[in-house]
């Protein structure tokens, strides 16, 4: 590998692991743009770790769900790579023009799970931003800048695989500009950071909009001409207790109302899964097994979501992982 002498000693010769927990970004309390950090676009998709071992390809979500069947075009492109052994980290996304769209990506899924039988015309790309292993060597102990150089050379970038470049002109003015265009935000990464599993202060999220995952704990009856259900009751975990965060009743297509209602109907239970005392009139309680992604304006003083909107289901995050995000 083309590395400076001082970095070659950080390479670790080792058998290729079958799984590595991904490095996760921490929500930043304050934005900054300074030397020693780079910024990448925050994508609106699904995290994917790709493992190539000869002709054997395994693509996993962050909670180790296998993604191969849902995105065969990416699997084919990975199998065609010259390197015999690779572990790549990136994001699977669907694009509307020059921006990624989680809502559009939902059209490629059924019940939150990727499926080629749904939305076959939706163009999918795999944006690769890190490399963990290449040709017999664990490279996670190299600094990010060196890993990026290796990544550029180790992979052939033809659709649907794309290299996710950093943004050299990122500053506050640029951040405000992309937010005005409806983009997700930026991920700031320390150039010297090593790749470590779990959440790290060396990768930071600068979000344009407020959104996060919530656990679905119930739903209300529809009113008027509405079909399926009226609104979803949402919560997040505080320890082992599911805390109520409010209801979301907008952002659903007719097909989502019907399919999600069918799923929720099979998950009904008599008692509330929430640890809060809630009005039970007209509410159907469900087992807290589904995770929804929700955008919202802000948190109210009493811990409720203001102006929430449903963005889609997530199959790549376990309900027990869902907490209230704070900087």
Burial 272-286 (b: 16+ CB within 10 A, else e): bbbeeeeeeeebbbb
Using a 10 angstrom Cβ sphere, with 0-12 exposed, 13-18 middle and 19 or more buried, the burial of residue 225 is exposed
Cis geometry, peptide bond prior to residue 287 (ω within 30 degrees of 0): no
Q: What angle do CA 316, 322, 323 make, to 5 degrees?
A: 150
Query: Rounded to the nearest 5°, which phi and psi values hold at 256?
Result: -70, -40
CA contacts within 13 A on the Cβ side of 134: 24
What is the chain's Cα-based Rg?
21
Has 42 been annotated as catalytic?
yes
Please enumerate in sequence order all residues whose Cβ is within 8 A of that of 280, keeping only pairs 6 or more positions apart, or say none: 272
Contact 57, 68 (CB under 8 A): yes
End-to-end CA distance of the chain: 38
Identify the active-site residue in 30, 42, 181, 317: 42
Annotated catalytic residues are 42
């Amino acid at each position: 590998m083309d590395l400076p002498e001082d970095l070659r000693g950080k390479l670790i010769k080792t058998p290729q692991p079958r799984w590595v927990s991904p490095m996760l970004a921490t929500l930043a309390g304050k934005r900054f743009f300074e030397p020693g950090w780079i910024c990448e676009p925050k994508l609106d998709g699904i995290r994917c770790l790709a493992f190539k071992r000869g002709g054997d390809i395994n693509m996993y979500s962050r909670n180790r769900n296998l993604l191969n069947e849902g995105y065969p075009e990416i699997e084919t492109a990975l199998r065609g790579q010259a390197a015999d052994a690779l572990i790549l980290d990136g994001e699977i996304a669907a694009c509307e023009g020059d921006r990624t769209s989680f809502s559009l990506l939902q059209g490629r899924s059924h019940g939150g799970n990727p499926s080629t039988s749904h939305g076959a015309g939706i163009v999918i790309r795999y944006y690769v931003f890190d490399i963990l292993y290449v040709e017999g060597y664990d490279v996670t102990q190299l600094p990010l800048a060196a890993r990026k150089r290796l990544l550029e050379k180790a992979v052939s970038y033809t659709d649907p695989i794309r290299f996710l470049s950093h943004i050299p002109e990122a500053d506050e003015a640029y951040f405000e500009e992309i937010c005005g265009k409806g983009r997700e935000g930026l991920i700031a990464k320390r150039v010297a950071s090593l790749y470590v599993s779990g959440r790290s202060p060396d990768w930071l999220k600068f979000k344009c909009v407020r959104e996060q995952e919530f656990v679905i704990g119930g739903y209300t009856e529809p009113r008027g001409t509405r079909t399926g259900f009226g609104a979803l009751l949402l919560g997040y975990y505080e320890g082992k207790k599911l805390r109520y965060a409010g209801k979301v009743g907008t952002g659903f297509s007719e097909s989502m109302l019907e399919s999600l209602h069918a799923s929720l109907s099979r998950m009904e239970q008599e008692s509330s899964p929430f640890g809060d005392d809630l009005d039970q009139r007209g509410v159907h309680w469900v087992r807290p097994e589904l995770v929804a992604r929700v955008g919202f304006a802000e948190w109210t003083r009493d811990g409720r979501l203001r102006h929430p909107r449903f963005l889609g289901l997530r199959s790549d995050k376990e309900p027990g992982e869902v907490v209230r995000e704070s900087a």
